[in-house]
Amino acid sequence: MKRIFDIVGKDISQTLRSPMAALFLIAMPLMFTAFFGLIFQGVAKDEGAQEKPLVAVVGEAQDGSILNELQTLFQESGELTAAVFTTDEYPDSLILFEEKEAVAVLSLPEHFQFLSQDQTPATLYVDETSSEGQTALYTIQRVFSQQQILYSTSRLAVQVVDEQLPYASDQEYQAALEQVLAKAGQAWDKKAVTVSMERAVTETTDLSRIESAYDQSSPGMLVQFTISGLMGTAIIFVQERRTKTLQRMLTTATSRSAIIIAHALSMFFIIVAQQIILVLSGHFLFGVDYLREPLAILLVIVAFALWVSGMGTLIGVSAKNEDQVVLFSLIAMFLFTAMGGAWFTLENTSPGFYAIARYTPGAQAMQGLQNIIVRKQGLSSVFAPVGMLLLYAFLFYAAAILIFKKNKE
């Protein structure tokens, strides 16, 4: 056991001594974070301003007040923009999807009002499979249920009063109702009771919600350069075979498995340290909010490092020489970085690519990190990606062990 850590110590000092190490492990990822951040910064800002999905509210011109009320309510939700159209202008309201790039169309029947039992219900057209559609659906539902609660409780209150102490006239009844409604509305706004709802987990990063482009480039470059960062240590496997230091170790009382375990551990430690430095730099240099959930970020980092070191071990035991280590590492880096959505958000890719790519280890790491820094979710939001990463780590280690056993024959 002690010997394992002796080898780990040797590996780490060897790896860090290489002039490429500091460059590859830390300097390049920071440079590229800044670089991609600057490139996409403009894009993110522009899109961010107008990117709130549009809901088209369609109804009869005579029902203007309820249409405007809904528009205001949707706008106030902060999640949507809303625009009002009349059925005269758009007899076929579905055209609005294309013409106005609406993500949802809410079509109101004539004389629509909140809380009327005997009316045709309003119709909501929405694409539930897109995350914007989901946002619209959720927001609209919330607005409606809020209004329904307001109206029904107010009406109930006024009815109760009316039974005890009947109002003189219908006008008075109506005035009282409006008064109660207004009060109830204010009370709701004061949030005496706060109903907090976490948004359903959306699978990928939606660029529209990225406030700073560093929220994409920082975790992206972290994923990319962690994968290429394994190279320096993976190369030790083949170096030791070539220089016969491996054989020499075996003449001391050190077993082959201990040597493999030591190299895997070295990679793990180096990668974790690298990621911690990158996360702290991301937080303090680029303002990426990693530290709002430090434990969650740590979990993702550790799980990701386990997978990367598993892959490094696999490369180390299968490569015949140093060139192959570099080649395999670069292939792995490009493959898993591109598939992982480290350069661009996966959401903007074709559905076929997206369906596969989202489950790759790189994408899982990105998701875990961005659940915290972009989607502002809690600790539990990283459990699924961390679980997936651990599974991948297990698979890659298993493959490495199989190849190692086979080569030993």
The contact set with another protein (CB under 8 A) reads: 2-3, 6-7, 10, 13-14, 17-18, 243-245, 247-254
Q: End-to-end CA distance of the chain, in Å?
A: 25
- Tell me which amino acid residue 261 is: I
In the complex with another protein, the residue whose CB is nearer, 270 or 338, is: 270
User: Is 324 exposed, middle or buried, given 0-12, 13-18 or 19+ CB atoms closer than 10 A?
Assistant: middle
Rounded to a whole number of angstroms, the minimum distance from the CB of residue 13 to another protein is 7
Rounded to a whole number of angstroms, the minimum distance from the CB of residue 344 to another protein is 38
Rounded to a whole number of angstroms, the minimum distance from the CB of residue 264 to another protein is 18
- DSSP code of 63? G
Rounded to a whole number of angstroms, the minimum distance from the CB of residue 5 to another protein is 9
> How far apart (Å, rounded) are the C-alpha atoms in residues 240 and 258?
14
| Helix ranges, 290-382 (H) | 294-318, 322-339, 351-357, 361-373
The answer to whether 269 and 18 are in contact (CB under 8 A) is no
Residue ranges of E strands in 1-43: none
At residue 18's C-alpha, the angle toward residues 16 and 23, to 5°, is: 80
In the complex with another protein, the residue whose CB is nearer, 130 or 254, is: 254
> How far apart (Å, rounded) are the C-alpha atoms in residues 12 and 232?
10
Rounded to a whole number of angstroms, the minimum distance from the CB of residue 228 to another protein is 20
Angle of the 383-408 helix axis to the 361-373 helix axis, nearest 10: 150
Rounded to a whole number of angstroms, the minimum distance from the CB of residue 349 to another protein is 42
Rounded to a whole number of angstroms, the minimum distance from the CB of residue 239 to another protein is 8
In the complex with another protein, the residue whose CB is nearer, 146 or 254, is: 254
In the complex with another protein, the residue whose CB is nearer, 6 or 47, is: 6
In the complex with another protein, the residue whose CB is nearer, 21 or 126, is: 21
DSSP notation for 90-126: -SSTTHHHHHS-EEEEEEPPTT--SS-SSSPPPEEEE
In the complex with another protein, the residue whose CB is nearer, 129 or 251, is: 251
Which of these, 107, 10, 4, lies nearest to 63 by C-alpha position? 107
In the complex with another protein, the residue whose CB is nearer, 18 or 71, is: 18
In the complex with another protein, the residue whose CB is nearer, 229 or 341, is: 229
In the complex with another protein, the residue whose CB is nearer, 87 or 245, is: 245
Rounded to a whole number of angstroms, the minimum distance from the CB of residue 345 to another protein is 40
What's the residue count for the chain?
Answer: 409
Rounded to a whole number of angstroms, the minimum distance from the CB of residue 407 to another protein is 13
Q: Phi and psi (nearest 5°) for 106? A: -105, 115
- CA dist 55 to 87, 105, 124, 141, 328, Å? 15, 6, 10, 13, 49
**What is the enclosing helix (H) or strand (E) of 170?**
helix 170-190
